[in-house]
Amino acid sequence: MKVTALMPDDLVQEIKRYSSGRNLTESLIGALREWLAARKLRELNSALEKHPLVFGDDISAASLRSANRNR
């Protein structure tokens, strides 16, 4: 999709400097993907905070770590 957007030059230059894109389009796509991933993680953390994962009474974090280390 083609998009026309008015953005401050300093913001565009900073995005280009920190991204590994070959051009402005790749740089902006990378920046938007990173922002979206961070936002999704924030929402997931918020959901887990409200409704934490519950394992059975006989399962603890220590027993799960031990089982994973023994693999």
Tens digits of residue pLDDT in 33-57:
999 999 999 999 999 999 988 777 7
Please tell me the predicted confidence (pLDDT) of residue 71. Answer: 79
Q: Are 5 and 18 in contact (CB under 8 A)?
A: no
Range of lowest pLDDT (14-18, 29-33, 48-52, 60-64): 60-64
Across the range 18-45, mean pLDDT stands at: 95
Q: CA distances (Å), 40 to each of 2, 46, 56, 63, in order?
A: 25, 10, 27, 29
13 membership: H or E segment, kind and range: helix 9-18
Q: Is the pLDDT at 7 greater than 80, yes or no?
A: yes
Q: What is the DSSP letter of 52?
A: -
Q: What is the pTM of this model?
A: 0.69
State which H helix or E strand residue 49 sits in: helix 24-50
CA pair distance 29, 35, nearest whole angstrom: 10
